[in-house]
Amino acid sequence: MRGRDRSRSRSQSDEMHNKAGRVPPQAVDVEKSVLGAMMLEREAIPKAIQVISADAFYSAKHEKIYTAMLNLFERGNPVDLVTLTNELKRNDDLDDVGGGYYLSELTTEVASAANVEYHARIIAEKSLLRKMIETMTTVVGQAYEPGADAFELLDEAESKIFQVSDNQLRKAASPINEVVKDTLEQLESIHGQEGGITGVPSGFRKLDDLTSGWQPSDLIIIAARPSMGKCLGRGTPVMMADGTVKPVETIMVGDQLMGDDGTPRTVQSLARGREPMYWVRQKRGIDYRVNESHILSLKKSQSEGARARGSITDIPVHEYLQKSDKWKNDNKGFKAPASFPDQPVPLDPYFLGLWLGDGKADNARIYTTDDEVVDYLQTFAKERGDTVSVHDEHRPCPAYLVKSGERGTVATRNAVQATLRDLDLLNNKHIPQCYLGNSRAKRLRLLAGLIDSDGHLNRGYGGTYEITQSSNQLAHQIKFLCDTLGYRTSLTAKTARIASTGYESEVYRVRFNGNVDEIPVRIPRKQATPWTDQRNWRVTGIEVERDGVGDYYGFTLNGNGRFLLADGTVTHNTAFSLACGLNAATHPENPASVAIFSLEMGAQQLAQRLLTSEARVDAQRARTGRMKDDDWQKLARAAGKLSDASLFIDDTPGLSVLELRAKCRRLKAEHGLDLVVVDYLQLMQASASKRTQNREQEIAHISRSLKGLAKELDVPVLALSQLNRGVENRGGDKRPQLSDLRESGSIEQDADVVAFIYRAERYGITVDDQGNSTEGLAEIIIGKQRNGPIGTVELAFVDRYARFENLTTRYDNNSGGAGQGGGFNDGGGDSLPPFNGDGGGAIPEPPPDDEEAPF
């Protein structure tokens, strides 16, 4: 039996090394010793479990034996020769492992179980070496492949190595005397520190008093409701990256939408709810329904002012409604063309366009009187090895048929008419999806065929084409085709009459213009000239009208957040956690090295927010390019302060847990690392091996991984998380609770600190129970702190700077003094809105004496 003991290798690397005359690292005799010890003494089983898993065994039959032992142990059954034999027999594995004789032989391989833990570590080390060989062999093989991308391969290699390191030998429990010694040394090091801040300071005094700063190895969850932008009304048609159209309510996480730059946008999370809704009415585009937080993407159509003509502004609906009529007139909705990859099609798109326009519905005949079309059909047939026959040639409009050989031959089965049948087009004229979602060149050829067969050119400004169809479906597809090409397009229904008979029918007219001279039309009288109108045909005026309360459906996207509706209309898709990171990095006495992973905003967007917040410059003025002279001075000082900070920003979209760990390890080794900020947790991706259909399980894996990262690097990890919509639907007190954490209770379980951000005025609550104003007030509610007290800290929130600040005074409407018309001025001529007035409010802490006025 021993001659058959060696199992053949189960991995590519093993096979390659065997061919080279080398045997992968293994210790089969040690494996026998461990299995024998586990059968002899039950106490040996938990010792082995702490060190190795089933896949650590080199021998396949040893892996099966070990798995059967674990199953018995988990059920509380004895693990001996009899029970193990029955367990393997029950699983039909007994013969595979060598039968009962081999099992009894294992017990003779070891005299005692005393060394089982040491032997188990040998097995684990050999397993780790095999995994390293397998990983590096795979990488080497990929490096030899033609066209290998060195940078992608380097990233994959690093990821795989870190994956191997995640499965390294498990750490044994530490004896209490060592833990007590380390704890006493840590307490001694922090004794007498000023302010009692033993961790990374948040920059908010009262919060630091409660937490002693963010502590190393802690996972801190900052939970709040998202801004809920990018939310559309039910039924709004959204263009997908493959050219199909889906109603917004059917879009799921992982779907890919068409971005405004022609590249896909991946849906990373969903938002659902009911709110007051608004109609966005486009003069030259579809009307669509949104909530007030939806972000409109508008393009400047005039050249005057600070912003250049053509510049894009992303603005929420509620802010748009406050703008002047002049501003609204200067900033219009706009469309963008879609870009799809080239893919093969069974028929030339130009031929299909001719047939859709002037082909016989039940066969492949095409009616035409134009020599250019006839010449094309002759060339088309010749290239296919076919012939063209003419039917009804003496009639005003003869029919042309491309034929392929005799009936029953291979050529006939591949004939044009057979292809039309395979595409389900006979007696069902429509544009197949493989043409609608194809390259721009193929879509232009398809449209040229439609124009040459069934189109009409109205000259003026270069020309406007119109195509009239009796089929509603085909007319809408032609409009979609023109929309994806970026043309200004309209579709109207009208009644067509035949005067001689009085017959009436409803037809559909598609009109489109723009740079239509690019369409490869063959018939000279139908060829457009370049567009001469100075106006941009892709912009359109909009009006926003209030509607009733309704359901909204939204999502977060990677990239710049802009995506296309079905007609090509462009539309769009954290401050406290960023403030904590910025405060830690710029602390005057103990600056920390901080890494911010922004999964929602790009690096420049994030830097702009940090700059305007630090400089106390109105963020809207900065976004619209209307900053004052002293705003630039403030920004310059803030930029200098930020540039000196040890602050690192990563805006990789859809960042996985594995990538996050790899990047943090590298930052720790190269620059030192004191704090990690993740904005935000729900946008992260689980490791590939942990991705499931159950998002809650993925979030649980992500939160556990973040906690593991905090312990491994011994730094606090501060992650922003979303709250459930239930907090907004709850009557009475809307302060968030632990049960409001979104998608997984494991977040609460894994976190060392859970803090909630609550702003009463966000819910229309203007005064609290004591009659004090809630304006400009934010509450940071510590709902859980594993090693400290819970409680609430009040901060000032300056909305136009998106900035949290220390609160010096909380006053009511009877207190007088600062509450009666005072307020803090930022030194730039604009009073902070409004930390004063009849109802009282909150006053942020004034700047230190040694700083200039803006700070």
Write the pLDDT tens digit of every residue in 318-362: 778 888 888 888 889 888 899 999 999 999 999 999 999 999 999
pLDDT of residue 569: 76
Residue 464 forms part of a structural domain: yes
Across 59-68, 403-412, 590-599, 787-796, least confident range: 403-412
Mapping DSSP to helix (H, G, I), strand (E, B) and coil, where does residue 494 land? strand
Looking at the fold, whether 387 and 514 belong to one and the same domain comes out as: yes
Comparing 180-189, 626-635, 761-770, which segment has the lowest mean pLDDT? Answer: 180-189
pLDDT band at 740 (very low <50, low <70, confident <90, very high): confident
Average pLDDT over residues 576-601: 76
The region of weakest confidence among 290-304, 424-438, 704-718, 809-823 is 809-823
The CA angle 666-671-674, to the nearest 5 degrees, is 90
Assigned domain for 186 exists: no
Q: How far are the Cα atoms of 89, 329, 394, 510, 625 from residue 317, in angstroms, in the given order?
A: 68, 15, 63, 31, 19
- Same-domain status, 562 and 473: no
Residue 321 contacts residue 579 (beta carbons within 8 Å): no
Lowest mean pLDDT among 207-216, 683-692, 842-851: 842-851
Angle, CA of 5, 6 and 8, to the nearest 5°: 140
Residue 378 counted as domain residue: yes
Pairing of strands 399-403, 455-458: unpaired
Same domain, 767 and 706: yes
Q: Measure the N-to-C terminal CA separation of the chain; round to a whole number of Å.
A: 82
Residue 382 — pLDDT band, cuts 50, 70, 90?
A: very high
CATH code: domain of residue 813:
3.40.50.300
Q: Is the pLDDT of residue 368 over 80?
A: yes
Whether 247 has a pLDDT exceeding 50, the answer reads yes
- Across the range 166-190, mean pLDDT stands at 53
Which CATH number is 84's domain given? Answer: 1.10.860.10
Gyration radius of the chain over CA positions:
35
Give the mean model confidence (pLDDT) for residues 372-395: 89
**Which of 309, 820, 236 has its CA nearest to residue 539?**
309
Q: Report the Cα 630 to chain-centroid distance in Å.
A: 38
Q: Name residue 594's beta-bridge partners.
A: 647, 675
Residue 189 falls within a domain, yes or no? Answer: no
Find the mean pLDDT for residues 300-307: 70
Shared domain for 8 and 100, answered yes or no, is yes
Q: Which helix (H) or strand (E) holds 413?
A: helix 410-413
- The domain of 516 spans 349-526
Least confident of 177-186, 581-590, 690-699: 177-186
Q: If we measure between CA atoms, which residue out of 678, 715, 682 comes closest to residue 701? A: 682
Residue 288 · residue 249 · CB < 8 Å:
no
Q: Which residue has the higher pLDDT, 606 or 436?
A: 436
Lowest mean pLDDT segment, chosen from 101-105, 552-556, 699-703, 716-720: 552-556
Residue 850 has pLDDT above 70, yes or no: no
pLDDT at 844: 52
Secondary structure of 302-343 as H, E, C letters: CCCCCCCCCCEEEEEHHHHCCCCHHHHHHEEEEECCCCCCCC
Secondary structure of residue 497 in the 3-state scheme: strand
CATH code where residue 380 lies: 3.10.28.10
Query: Is 129 inside any structural domain?
Result: yes
pLDDT digits (tens, 9 = 90+) for 512-564: 999 999 999 999 999 999 888 777 888 888 999 998 888 878 777 766 667 88
Question: Does 193 map to a domain?
Answer: no
- Residues 651, 728, single domain; the answer is yes
* Same domain, yes or no: 356 and 427: yes
Rounded CA gap, 825 and 810, in Å?
Answer: 17
Q: Does some domain include residue 533? A: no
Please tell me the distance from the alpha carbon of residue 513 to that of residue 516, in angstroms, as a whole number.
Answer: 6
Window from 18-22, 23-27, 239-243 with minimum mean pLDDT: 18-22
pLDDT of 854: 26
Question: What average pLDDT does the structure give for the chain?
Answer: 77
Q: Which among 826, 844, 832, 843 is positioned nearest to 630, based on CA atoms? A: 826
Instruction: Kindly state whether residues 98 and 210 are assigned to the same domain.
Output: no
440 and 388 together in one domain: yes
Q: What is residue 846's predicted lDDT score, i.e. its pLDDT? A: 45
Better-predicted residue by pLDDT, 134 or 846? 134
What percent of the chain has a predicted confidence (pLDDT) above 70?
A: 75
Between 21 and 54, the higher pLDDT residue: 54
Same domain, 323 and 377: no
pLDDT of residue 52: 84
Q: Is the pLDDT of residue 819 over 60?
A: no
Residue 290: CATH number of its domain: 2.170.16.10
- 3-state secondary structure (DSSP) of residue 831: strand
Does 361 lie in the same domain as 388? yes
pLDDT given at position 838: 33
pLDDT value for 731: 65
- If you average pLDDT over residues 104-118, what whole number do you get? 80
Percent of the chain with pLDDT over 90: 20
Does 171 reside within a domain? no
φ and ψ at residue 24, rounded to 5 degrees: -60, 150
Q: Is residue 512 located within the same domain as residue 547? A: no
Q: How many domains does the chain have?
A: 4
Tokens of 90: 């029950």
Tens-digit pLDDT profile for residues 441-500:
999 999 999 999 999 999 876 789 999 999 999 999 999 999 999 998 988 988 877 777
Tokens in use for 842?
């909150």
pLDDT of 28 over the 60 cut = yes
- What is the DSSP pairing of strand 675-679 with strand 717-722? parallel
Task: List the one residue out of 849, 774, 855 whose CA is nearest residue 811.
Answer: 774
User: b/e per residue, 762-796, with b = 16+ CB within 10 A?
Assistant: eeeeebeeeebbbbbbbbbbbbbbeeeeeeebebb
Query: What is the DSSP pairing of strand 312-316 with strand 331-334?
Result: unpaired
Based on the number of CB atoms within 10 Å of its own CB, is 689 exposed (0-12), middle (13-18) or buried (19 or more)?
A: exposed
Q: What is the mean pLDDT of residues 68-96?
A: 88
Amino acid at 500: S
Answering whether pTM is above 0.85, one says: no
Q: Is the pLDDT of residue 797 over 50?
A: yes
pLDDT at residue 158 greater than cutoff 50: yes
- The reply to whether 408 and 269 lie within a common domain is no
